Amino acid sequence: MIFASFEFLFLFLPLFFAVYFLTPFRLRNWPMLLFSWAFYAWWRIDFLLLLIAVTVFTWLVARAMDSADPRSSAGWRWMLFGVVGNVAVLAYFKYANFGVATFNQLIGAAGHAPVAWAEIVLPIGLSFYVLQSVSYLVDVARGVVPVNRDFLNYATYKAIFAQLIAGPIVRYAEIEQELKYRHHSLAQFGAGARIFMIGFAMKTALADTLSPLVDAAFTLATPNLADAWLGATAYTLQLYFDFAGYSLMAIGLARTIGFHFPQNFDNPYLSGSIQDFWQRWHMTLSRFLRDYLYFPLGGNRKGPGRTYVNLMTIMAIGGLWHGSSWNFIFWGILHGGMLAAHRWWSRRPGARPMPFALGNALTMLGVLIGWVLFRAKDIGTALSMYAGMLGLHGTGSHGAGSHGIGLSDALAWQATPDRLWFIPIAIFFIYLPLLQGRRASAPALPRTGWTAALPVIAPLAGFVLAIVLLYSRDAVPFLYFQF
């Protein structure tokens, strides 16, 4: 079950709200937990058992840390045991296939028979709820949060369906008090519903409309110049509106029931540098990598050379976290290299800030090039797309005059007017905050009539449009469900 589906919108969610708000407050974590487990079991009930097992394991380890004193050497050993146990689960399900495939390639090149291996299915959401476990155990060991002795509260924290599948990566400290008491009001419910509708429209109206075009472009054997750039641009937009839309839906759903999740996106495509981009994109992951890996490795405190190595290492790990393939590792290394280059450039003697327009253009070019690696099914597909972006595959069978942009026959049939029009619409919404910033000093319009109603009418209109579009086509899974 996904948020952008009729089962969720008109079956699961109304039933959950009815049971949740009819339950006495002191017992509301029970419907929260049980409905969240049911939400997860909708996909595969056997992997619900894995979620429960990871939850119980982490809770028991934290209790053992508490008994031994979390900040003692024994407490730290328990913490290390819990972290290794969680990471081992992630490694088995997420990287065993990749490891065996790589090993078979190596021994195959040496003339040996491959190792027999049955493909392991990756449980959805595993990457996210394992990171939650790690952050909880480390924060307990650091004394940032107390050990939660109430299993119901901790299990609820792990399983809240709003963020269970694809984040944001919510740390225990961020909702510790709301697990015990949270405020409910009609105004807060309405604010959460509005956030949800905006995210739903971003996902269904923008991201999903571009999905067929992206899929077609990345399956071309020899994309030409127009094919490759159109496909890469469409995916750059699709990924943002898909994942940022999911994050807003998660944040909005949580707000309706009294939880305040952290922001996960802050207009990342308006960044003036690659460093700025990573402070705005998937912010909860960026903070996790910074606080639990980059700083412990020394951060930028041990000289420029060590800083560059740390940046490359952390981003390579971040790439591998996204998926078990060389594409993601190289994608992480690419971003680590860009971060290191930006740090070196900005710290040169006499260095001046780059103009925003130039910085944004260079940043988006680097990000777009990286997204090709992120989306391609393997390195060969990525290299073929890059060759197309450089014009090395020619102009296609239709020539440069086809549809005015030189698309090949293989992609032209997917480049329907509605999909092509949604590209400038999506770009407009990305850069809209810049236009709003220009009007910040202008006299404010009277907050009456349509002006006052616009913040409510616009999300509602977008939501209705998204519902109509959802009815007219199959639901598209969230992209980050695959990571």
Q: pLDDT tens digits, residue range 320-348?
A: 999 889 999 999 999 999 999 999 998 88
Q: Is residue 255 part of a domain?
A: yes
Residue-by-residue DSSP string for 79-120: HHHHHHHHHHHHHHHHHHHHHHHHHHHHHHHTTPPPPP-PPP
Q: Is residue 168 part of a domain?
A: yes
> Does one domain contain both 268 and 153?
no
CA 385 to chain centre: 23
SS (H, E, C) 345-359: HHCCCCCCCCCHHHH
> Does one domain contain both 233 and 90?
no
Buried b (16+ CB within 10 A) or exposed e, 439-450: eeeeeeeeeeee
CA 112 to chain centre: 40
Among the candidates 112, 147, 182, a domain finishes at 182
Q: Give which of 168, 240, 206, 208 is closest to 5, Cα–Cα.
A: 208
Below-70 pLDDT ranges, the chain: 394-405, 437-455, 481-483
The rounded distance, in Å, linking the Cα atoms of 215 and 423 is 15
Q: Is residue 67 part of a domain?
A: yes
Among the candidates 147, 182, 217, a domain finishes at 182
Q: Is residue 64 part of a domain?
A: yes
Q: What is the largest CA-CA distance in the chain?
A: 77
Alpha-carbon distances, residue 188 vs 3, 14, 194 (angstroms): 20, 17, 10
Which pLDDT value is given to residue 480?
A: 74
Which pLDDT value is given to residue 482?
A: 61
> Does one domain contain both 173 and 243?
no
Q: Is residue 312 part of a domain?
A: no
Q: pLDDT tens digits, residue range 426-481?
A: 999 999 888 776 554 455 545 555 555 666 788 888 888 888 888 877 777 777 76
Q: Is residue 341 part of a domain?
A: no
Q: Which residues are catalytic?
A: 322
> Does one domain contain both 84 and 173?
yes
All residues at 6 or more sequence positions from 88 whose CB lies less than 8 Å from its CB, including other chains: none
Which pLDDT value is given to residue 115?
A: 85
> Does one domain contain both 114 and 43?
yes
Given a contact cutoff of 8 angstroms between Cβ atoms, the answer to whether 234 and 326 are in contact is no
> Does one domain contain both 119 and 241?
no
Q: Which amino acid is at 479?
A: L
Among the candidates 146, 165, 182, a domain finishes at 182
> Does one domain contain both 374 and 396?
yes
Phi and psi (nearest 5°) for 444? -70, 140
For residue 337, what is the enclosing H or E element?
Answer: helix 326-346
Which pLDDT value is given to residue 391?
A: 87
Block residue for tokens 């777009």: 368
Q: Is residue 298 part of a domain?
A: no
Helix and strand totals (H; E) in the chain: 21, 0
Q: What tokens were used for 404?
A: 């005015």
Angle at which helices 225-256 and 356-375 pack, to 10 degrees?
90
Q: Is residue 88 part of a domain?
A: yes
Q: Give which of 401, 393, 370 is closest to 221, Cα–Cα.
A: 393
> Does one domain contain both 153 and 206?
no
Q: What tokens were used for 431?
A: 């850069």
> Does one domain contain both 137 and 228?
no
Q: How many domains does the chain have?
A: 2
> Does one domain contain both 372 and 259?
yes
> Does one domain contain both 65 and 101?
yes
> Does one domain contain both 267 and 148?
no
Domain that holds residue 32: 28-182
